Structure 1
Amino acid sequence: MAHVSELIGTDIERYLKQHERKSLLRFITCGSVDDGKSTLIGRLLYESKMLFDDQLAALEADSRKVGTRGGEIDYALLLDGLAAEREQGITIDVAYRFFSTDRRKFIVADTPGHEQYTRNMITGASTADLAIILVDARKGILQQTRRHSYLVSLIGIRNVVLAVNKMDLVGYSRERFNEISREYGEFARKIGIPAVTAIPISGVNGDNIVERSPKTSWYDGPSLMHHLETVEIDEAHLQTQPFRFPVQWVNRPNPDFRGFAGTIASGVVRVGQRIQIQPSGRESTVAKIVTADGDLDEAFAEQSVTLLLADEVDVSRGDLISTADSPAPVADQFEATLVWMSEQPMLRGRSYLLKIGTRTVTATILPLKYKLNVDTLDHVASETLALNEIGVAELEFDRAIAFDPYEQNHETGGFIVIDRITNSTVGAGMLRFALRRANNLRWQTLEVDKRARRVLNGHQSGVVWLTGLSGAGKSTIANLLEKRLHAMGKRTYLLDGDNVRHGLNKDLGFTAEDRVENIRRIAEVAKLMADAGVIVITAFISPFRAERSLARELMEKGEFIEVFIDTPLEVAEERDPKGLYKKARSGELKNFTGIDSPYEKPQNPEIHINTMTASPELAVAVIFEKLQTVGFLDVSRGAPL
């Protein structure tokens, strides 16, 4: 194959035409840290002659500067582009590289090996057709090897190469290679990887990378490059699946044009085809398929198009367009596999944002069924997931979505989990199936609605949510507020933290997980009572912003008033009416807010009461004035503003 820098004129044109006809293989390299992934890919790039002269010169200069190989070329430097990686000698980001041979085009993702960066590995694996699992011949199969392999299996990659690297450091031992191959093969069968191609290699010396090496005369399999060039991949599988089109954007440049733009996730769509918009279920017909290069009669998976429909139907970003004769299932409760990617643990009952395709929903993690021990593959009972842990949980969405099980369609079954407060990605997962109850339960519309109850009561309804440290004075202020409202003839109910734990929440303790569930239940009860036309007052520590945010979002706009009862910890501790701080300081009471469990102060509460300057009576006066201002106390003003 000609070197890139040697191609000129018509040679380039001929090369590009040949290049277009080649098949494309996307693959990843993964394994434990320092197994030689970057060195391997660097050598593949070098041997495929896809480097320009200036790149070669820079590589040689950098190799001399780094000096890790006595002046010889250090192929890893082609991949470790970040300064932090070169300083530490590890890969911390996903590096994508393109190269080509006479037979095939390749896109390779060099994924991090360090356990801390497992989340980056998932990113690289999400679109791969093949995975190269590297193992250091000296170290053998490690926990990170198993974790990456299990993730490869979860994501659905079925072509796996076990590259036993650094064979030069074990004297090209056939026995050592066979030992590692047997151990890995047994593990691969347990996790559902159907076939593994094991190849003994030395990335540094190039053994069995491009050509078979005489140093492993006992090995009769293919070189790594030969295997990559010839392995069968199903390039048409997306076209054979049912048509799925997540709507990314409603394109309306003028009143006469209303199209729905996005990338086809799977299947084929044709002009005149009958389609269904999901989750609404409305149907129409494809009138035009528009692209930047002109209109098409049909379009295929992975093409970016704009669809124009024959009817004026309601379609929004996040909707899924499917064929009418093979629509996607619709549900709001699922069993899913989760891979946790945050240093903050997953908490049962906490709500997160979940992005699947182009739709974002609010998802609550219901009881975790189990987490996986990646060494033994045992299912371990747990209520939470820590960084890099894998588990199976039930998810409940705030609305129904159209989906496909991940095994059938990665695009419409895979999702990421986003923290509602920080907006950072904290997890990724795969929808396995809809829970049966998701299709059996329907919200019953009642003829006597919230508006009718408010008219009968003579005032608006909603929630006054008091939050603050233990001993801040929440219960005192809540009691005084309810007495004043009751004296005016307003229908109220006070939900107090201690009272609720005597009944509804008596099964909950004070761990972070139980605190989340405690507030989730209270928020749901408060929502029902507000629907009944009652002014609900709550007095709970409610230490986490995420749960207070969930409570707010359950209510309609203007129905939720957050009141921060702000008392310094040292003052609350001096008051200590129940002696709880004293017990927490002595170690008798664990997970106590402010001592060994955090309190996240409200960032934008409607009311901020500083108890160092405001008495309980003044606090009630401030809250009462706010209720009058927003219309809680006067039904004639309509819904609260």
Structure 2
Amino acid sequence: MKSLLKFITCGSVDDGKSTLIGHMLYDAKLLFADQEKALELDSKIGSREGKIDYSLLLDGLMAEREQGITIDVAYRYFTTDHRSFIVADCPGHEQYTRNMAVGASFADLAVILVDASQGVLTQTRRHARICALMGIKHFVLAVNKMDLIDYDKHRFDEIKQDFLSLTANFNLETIQVIPVSATEGDNITKPSLHTPWYNDLPLLAYLEQRDVSSNTDNSGFIMPVQRVCRPNHTFRGFQGQIESGSICVGEEIITLPSNEKAKIKSIYVTDTERNEAFVGQPVTIQLDREVDVSRGCVLVKDETLELADMFTAALLWMDDTELVAGRNYLIKCGTKILPAMVMSIKHKIDINSGKHIAAERLFKNEMAVCDIALSEKMVFDKFDRNKALGELILIDRVTNMTSACGVIEHSLRRSTNVVWQDTDITREIRSRQKGQKPLTLWFTGLSGSGKSTLANEVEKRLVAMGKHTMLLDGDNIRHGLNKNLGFKEVDRVENIRRIAEVSKLMNDAGIIAITSFISPYKNDRENAKEIIGDEFIEVFVSTPLEECERRDIKGLYKKARAGEIPEFTGISSPYEKPDNPAIEIDTSKHSIEEATDILVKQILKYMD
């Protein structure tokens, strides 16, 4: 059976990635007759004055052909007498970097193109760092468009040295530098007469013989559980792909994180029962006894994995909205999805030099090392040891878009040294003692909307009913607990996080917490809800901006209009309205007494 090589082509825009692969397929006679004919016909109306435009083989979208660029990743399967290949042709434009990262995540080798007339550019450096981040250990630098510089060896050597300096700290296993011309076919499938000074293999021959097998010593069995299969009451199987090692019927495995032991009763590869299964195979495994296993758990044998709720990871940020510490996301690692928070940005990585730079926020297409906290302990491994359990993505909880991809570097020591201490007096006992159901009433709205006034009136009513309460007002909290925080976005995020944690403690004590904060961002309120749980009741004081500004109780709007207060919510900084608040009230339509009556009546429904 022929070995399979999965590789990508990447680099800066217009460096000739699609043309290179297209020419390789054409010259190697790897096209069907109808594909070859269609290519020749399409090229007559292309951008090369009737000459064959090899990029058309991979650029299939209409927008790609119109603009002469690659937008989406184009996958192509082909096979030669010596090897089978899957190539991912990746876009070069910076705005499509997330697409390039997707292509890099599957590859074993990267062919990075450089325009010989321009040399190594910023996007070339970014793509090279992303490939290294994604664990690619084998690089080929294809110095393209050599025909434009008359096959100048001196210029080729300059570009080669520049690239070798860039990748010096990438921990690569192999680097091959090849002078090519994607349009003319030099050194693609056969040696070029124009480069007599290049004595190594042409690109296709090199790809055919390059060994990319991993040297990682993962002999133990590892299988993340993708699905629990229960077709009837007599069969319960665990499905997934074997990521490491092999397993036989009768062998004992350990289930993580429950740490239970069981023996393999049966193994199915697709619908065929087998006695043994190997790495890379999709299997259904039946155990000899009932164990606590669900999607996201991991079956192991002779292997030690990490179990922690905090770790350090290197990230590529792919979201249009910048990353600041304290934001909450969903994290997907292996087959497990959990709520997670980016605790801190340790440093940003300079794309050109690789230097570590202090940063408070991360913008699209930037790379950084961050500390991440999970909502519960998760099974994972260092990316260097296990790719499947060491790579991750962060998902925006509001838009459900992928915000970042990355790899786990190591767990944080405090994640295993600091252990939650269970106490005998529980939240339920404290609640019964006080005769009430603890809640967090989260008042949100613009400055001047009436949040603080309403929160104060609601607390007086609840106390009069015999309820135990605590009012946490935004200004008051900044005099003590959050005295060290300013009004930058990162400080606002941390301000809300601390209040949510305090509110949760109040609820644990059986107390009704009432908070009054602008909390302008949906993400922050979602984070607070995640921390507090089902006790979180969002109260949106929806008084219009015009009314809030007319009141201008503290004179803040006047100062903001005069430019004296930067990033003032409603004027120079946005307020994101709740989509579906539990309670909504507009104080411009009711007196304080009426609004309080309405609120208390609705709040009491949540106390039953």
The alignment's TM-score, normalised by the length of structure 1, stands at 0.93
Q: 2:486 aligns to what SS in structure 1?
A: coil
Q: What is the root-mean-square deviation of aligned Cα atoms in Å?
A: 1.3
Q: Which residue identity does 1:234 align to in structure 2? A: S
Deviations 1:388-423 (A, max 9, x none): 000001000001000110111111010111000000
- What residue is the counterpart of 2:337 in the other structure? 360
The answer on 1:43 being equivalent to 2:30 is no
- What residue is the counterpart of 2:478 in the other structure? 501
Q: 1:412 aligns to what SS in structure 2?
A: coil
- The runs of 5 or more residues in structure 1 that have no matched partner are 1-20
Bigger CA drift: 293-302 or 128-137?
A: 293-302
Shift of 1:581: 1.3
Once the two structures are superposed, the pairs formed by residues 437-586 of structure 1 within 5 Å of their partners are 437-557=414-534, 559-586=535-562
Shift of 1:272: 1.5
Q: 1:214 aligns to what SS in structure 2?
A: coil
Check the 8 A contact 1:405/1:433 in 2, yes or no: yes
Q: Which runs of 4+ in 1 moved over 3 A?
A: 237-241
What is the aligned counterpart of 2:580 among 604, 608, 611? 604
CA distance in 2, matches of 1:241, 1:88: 48
Once the two structures are superposed, the pairs formed by residues 140-289 of structure 1 within 5 Å of their partners are 140-234=119-213, 240-289=218-267
Q: 1:216 aligns to what SS in structure 2?
A: coil
Check the 8 A contact 2:332/2:393 in 1, yes or no: yes
Point out the structure with the larger helix share.
1
Q: 2:375 aligns to what SS in structure 1?
A: strand
What is the aligned counterpart of 2:5 among 25, 29, 36? 25
Bigger CA drift: 517-526 or 450-459?
A: 450-459
Bigger CA drift: 41-50 or 493-502?
A: 41-50
Q: 1:91 aligns to what SS in structure 2?
A: coil
CA distance in 2, matches of 1:483, 1:474: 14
CA distance in 2, matches of 1:243, 1:543: 48
Q: Which residue identity does 1:264 align to in structure 2? A: I
- What residue is the counterpart of 2:365 in the other structure? 388
Question: Percent same amino acid at aligned positions?
Answer: 51
Q: Which residue identity does 2:152 align to in structure 1? A: S
Shift of 1:154: 1.5
Check the 8 A contact 1:48/1:99 in 2, yes or no: no
Q: Which residue identity does 1:526 align to in structure 2? A: S
The alignment's TM-score, normalised by the length of structure 2, stands at 0.98
Distance 1:30-1:128 versus aligned 2 partners, 3 A rule: same
Check the 8 A contact 1:239/1:301 in 2, yes or no: no
Deviations 1:599-627 (A, max 9, x none): 11111111110222122222221221123
Bigger CA drift: 124-133 or 618-627?
A: 618-627
Deviations 1:120-177 (A, max 9, x none): 1111111211111100000001111111111111222111111000000001101110
CA distance in 2, matches of 1:263, 1:190: 33
Check the 8 A contact 2:307/2:380 in 1, yes or no: yes
Deviations 1:31-50 (A, max 9, x none): 00000000001011112222
CA distance in 2, matches of 1:255, 1:195: 52
What is the aligned counterpart of 2:276 among 298, 310, 313? 298
- What residue is the counterpart of 2:591 in the other structure? 615
Bigger CA drift: 92-101 or 147-156?
A: 147-156
Check the 8 A contact 1:276/1:327 in 2, yes or no: no
Shift of 1:54: 1.3
The answer on 1:308 being equivalent to 2:308 is no
CA distance in 2, matches of 1:450, 1:307: 40
Check the 8 A contact 1:239/1:266 in 2, yes or no: no
CA distance in 2, matches of 1:515, 1:593: 12
Q: 1:213 aligns to what SS in structure 2?
A: coil
Shift of 1:82: 0.7
- What residue is the counterpart of 1:13 in the other structure? none
CA distance in 2, matches of 1:620, 1:310: 61
Bigger CA drift: 260-269 or 352-361?
A: 260-269
- What residue is the counterpart of 1:57 in the other structure? 37
- The runs of 5 or more residues in structure 2 that have no matched partner are none
Shift of 1:238: 7.7
Shift of 1:554: 2.5
Shift of 1:484: 1.1
Once the two structures are superposed, the pairs formed by residues 10-21 of structure 1 within 5 Å of their partners are 21=1
Shift of 1:291: 2.5
The answer on 1:426 being equivalent to 2:398 is no
Q: 1:65 aligns to what SS in structure 2?
A: coil
Shift of 1:598: 1.3
Shift of 1:240: 4.2
Deviations 1:402-460 (A, max 9, x none): 01101111110101110000000110011111100000111111111111111211211
The answer on 1:317 being equivalent to 2:311 is no
Check the 8 A contact 2:317/2:363 in 1, yes or no: yes
- What residue is the counterpart of 1:416 in the other structure? 393
Check the 8 A contact 2:218/2:385 in 1, yes or no: no
